[in-house]
Amino acid sequence: MVERDTDAGRERGATPQREALLSDEMRLKLMRLFEGSPQASQRDAARELGISLGKVNYCLQALVHKGWIKSNRFRNSRDKFAYRYLLTPRGVEAKAALTVRFLRIKMREYETLRTEIEQLRREAATRGRERGASQL
pLDDT at residue number 19:
53
Question: Do the domain assignments include residue 6?
Answer: no
- The C-alpha torsion from 39 through 44 and 45 to 51, rounded to 10°, is 170
Q: How many domains does the chain have?
A: 1
pTM over 0.75: no
Greater pLDDT, 89 or 9: 89
Residue 104 maps to a domain: yes
pLDDT of residue 9: 41
Instruction: Decide if 9 is inside a domain.
Output: no
Domain membership of residue 60 as a residue range: 14-128
Mean pLDDT, all residues of the chain: 82
The domain that contains 20 carries what CATH number? 1.10.10.10
* 2 is a domain residue: no
pLDDT (tens digit per residue) in 67-126: 999 998 887 666 677 889 999 999 999 999 999 999 999 999 999 999 999 999 999 998
Asked whether the beta carbons of 92 and 70 are under 8 A apart, the reply is: no
